[in-house]
Amino acid sequence: MTKEDVAIRFSDVSFEHSSGKEILDEASFALREGIKIALMGQNGAGKTSLFNLIMGKILPSSGNIYRNENLTIACAQQVIPAEQLKLTIPEFFAVYFKGEDYELDMNIKEAMEAVNISLPMDKKMSSFSGGQQARLLLASALIQKPDILLLDEPTNNLDADGVGHLLSFLMMYEKTCVVISHDADFLNMFTDGVLYLDIYNHKIDQFVGDYYTVVEEVKLQIERENKKNAQFAKKIAAHKEKINYFANKGGKMRLIAKKMKDEVARMEEDKVDVRREDQTIRDFNIPAQMNFVGDVIKINSLTVMENGEPTPKKVEVVLRKREKLSLKGPNGIGKTTLLERLAKNDSVDAQISPDVRIGYYRQDFSTLDFEKTVYDTLIEAMPAENEEQMRATASGFLITGKEMDSKIGSLSEGQKGLVAFAQLVLTEPELLILDEPTNHINFRHLPVIAKALKEYQGAMIMVSHVEEFVDQVEIKDTLDLGKL
């Protein structure tokens, strides 16, 4: 790879947050122009921080980062910054557009066509659904006409049509692209390789090939390393037995024992530091309120968006214990708004039985107080305070040590998701309302979460665009807002 072909190069780069959390330790990799690569790593490993290092928003503690000065970089973030939610579409794009003012409208039109979306220009960003905001975030990067496109969880909140359009776009995209995503199937369709940020040793491994090829390669590598270490361990054990025998014989035998001891030391040094797999959260269950009988929730009417206007629709929905409902519909039809109203229990057309505790998982985590610590957030979720139980639950979701004393706002999006699930466990709700619960979550955790939701004994309403996840939860009843 010649220097002219290199888009980005990290050489022995180290970085840690001001809080002392280490992200990189002398990490090195290089990306050539035109490559499409997946950036993988466990929740909290520091993938978004790596993007910020690439863009120069933060500086490394040591080492060098080379960026081809002829290439421009833009990033589609996971979420719209809070201060930008009050902006209209033209005001939002003006933040990112680098050209002349008179060119803005034309470029907005091109960027929105590229992501296949048409929206009222005078509405504020906060009024759009999660899927619409996801497309606008991608468009905000494209309007900068970058040579290096960074995408941070671009499939979150997208419906099937949105994911399909994004996939087609990326397969045709000819410039450099780095994508953070926990959607393995999505990544496998268009990437040329994988950068893997290891949360344990803070290094970056680079692999060539599609995602599933890389997973198999890593699996075989671990098997080889374990086999090699097992062989060393067997030899070391045999040598140690002989060392003890020869050392007690005296004379020349002691010299033989010394040589064997040196060989044991060499074999110990040669043992491979086996790569550790991502940790997976432990199996868990979400307890429901005890001794509850009767209807948990009734919905007689709801509102959907038709041609940009709110339109009431009559429905008959009744959920009791152990009954689950999947809520479907295209981006922008009003699913998140409906769930929010149900969670607040402020709709005259929906009746939730008195004393029912509601567990609400919101896709943007706005139900969490970003200024509170994880400890306070979880302890306050409990009907009766029990610190030992709280810490045991948090540990199962990989929340330990420094994370407990960290503010919610300092966590990665994936870690916020795990805190939100821990909060649900501690709340012991009779009604679960889940809005895109797979967003930001490491794919290794999803089967565990699906199993817990499948076994949940209360009532549940869930929105998810991941059909495989809905099937795993075994939700048989569906209400499609697009077909009312």
Mean pLDDT of all residues belonging to the chain:
87
108 C-beta neighbours (distance < 10 Å), count: 20
Average pLDDT over residues 348-354: 85
What's the pLDDT at 105? Answer: 94
Same domain, 247 and 383: no
Average pLDDT over residues 135-152: 93
What's the pLDDT at 245? Answer: 65
* Sheet containing 176-180, strands listed edge to edge, beginning at the edge strand earlier in sequence: 73-76, 148-152, 176-180, 36-40, 193-197, 204-208
**pLDDT tens for each residue of 448-462:** 999 999 999 999 999
41 pLDDT band (50/70/90 cuts)?
confident
What's the pLDDT at 250? Answer: 64
> Which distant-in-sequence residues (6+ apart) come within 8 Å of 30 by Cβ?
1, 6, 8, 9, 10, 206
Question: Which one, of 367, 355, 359, 362, lies nearest residue 428 by Cα?
Answer: 359
On whether residue 282 sits in a domain, the answer given is no
**pLDDT tens for each residue of 422-455:** 999 999 999 999 999 998 888 789 999 999 999 9
Contact call for residues 209 and 199 (beta carbons, < 8 A): no
How far is residue 142's CA from residue 205's CA, in Å, rounded to a whole number?
Answer: 28
Please check the confidence at residue 241 and state whether its pLDDT lies above 60: yes
The helix or strand, by DSSP H or E, that contains position 473, with its residue range, turns out to be helix 467-473
On whether residue 281 sits in a domain, the answer given is no
How do beta strands 459-463 and 204-208 pair? unpaired
Same domain, 327 and 465: yes
Question: Which one, of 366, 402, 455, lies nearest residue 130 by Cα?
Answer: 366
Same domain, 469 and 380: yes
* Domain end residue (candidates: 214, 241, 262): 214
Contact call for residues 205 and 37 (beta carbons, < 8 A): no
What's the pLDDT at 293? Answer: 78
Classify residue 307 by its DSSP letter. T
Same domain, 181 and 242: no
393 pLDDT band (50/70/90 cuts)?
very high
What's the pLDDT at 140? Answer: 94
**pLDDT tens for each residue of 73-132:** 999 988 888 899 999 999 999 999 998 999 999 999 999 998 888 899 999 999 888 889
Same domain, 329 and 183: no
On whether residue 333 sits in a domain, the answer given is yes
472 pLDDT band (50/70/90 cuts)?
very high
What's the pLDDT at 210? Answer: 73
Same domain, 12 and 119: yes
Determine the number of helices (DSSP H) and then strands (DSSP E) in the chain: 15, 17
User: What 3-state class would DSSP assign to 305?
Assistant: strand
Same domain, 209 and 231: no
Average pLDDT over residues 313-341: 91
**pLDDT tens for each residue of 352-367:** 988 899 999 998 888 8
Please check the confidence at residue 20 and state whether its pLDDT lies above 90: no
What's the pLDDT at 444? Answer: 81
Backbone angles phi, psi at 299, to 5 degrees: -125, 120
Partners of 361 in beta bridges: 434
Average pLDDT over residues 261-290: 73
Contact call for residues 391 and 20 (beta carbons, < 8 A): no
On whether residue 286 sits in a domain, the answer given is no
How far is residue 154's CA from residue 39's CA, in Å, rounded to a whole number?
Answer: 13
Contact call for residues 133 and 153 (beta carbons, < 8 A): no
On whether residue 434 sits in a domain, the answer given is yes
User: In this predicted model, which residue has the larger pLDDT, 20 or 473?
Assistant: 473
**pLDDT tens for each residue of 293-321:** 788 999 999 888 887 788 989 999 999 99
On whether residue 372 sits in a domain, the answer given is yes
How far is residue 173's CA from residue 189's CA, in Å, rounded to a whole number?
Answer: 13
Same domain, 129 and 236: no
Q: Where are the beta strands (DSSP E) in 137-230?
A: 148-152, 176-180, 193-197, 204-208
Contact call for residues 217 and 207 (beta carbons, < 8 A): yes
Please check the confidence at residue 414 and state whether its pLDDT lies above 80: yes
Please check the confidence at residue 278 and state whether its pLDDT lies above 70: no
**In the chain, what is the straight-line distance between the N-terminal and C-terminal CA atoms, in Å?**
56
On whether residue 279 sits in a domain, the answer given is no
Q: Give me the CATH number covering residue 395.
A: 3.40.50.300
What's the pLDDT at 238? Answer: 74
> What pTM value is reported for the model?
0.72
How do beta strands 36-40 and 62-67 pair? unpaired
296 C-beta neighbours (distance < 10 Å), count: 26
Same domain, 197 and 317: no
How far is residue 68's CA from residue 76's CA, in Å, rounded to a whole number?
Answer: 20
Same domain, 12 and 34: yes
Residues comprising the chain, all counted: 484
Measured CA angle at 294 (ends 290, 297), to 5 deg: 100
Same domain, 169 and 262: no
Largest CA distance in the chain: 97
Same domain, 309 and 417: yes
What's the pLDDT at 198? Answer: 83
Structural domain harbouring 22: 3-214
How far is residue 258's CA from residue 243's CA, in Å, rounded to a whole number?
Answer: 8
- If one counts the domains in the chain, the total is 3
On whether residue 288 sits in a domain, the answer given is no
Contact call for residues 163 and 170 (beta carbons, < 8 A): no
The helix or strand, by DSSP H or E, that contains position 405, with its residue range, turns out to be helix 402-405
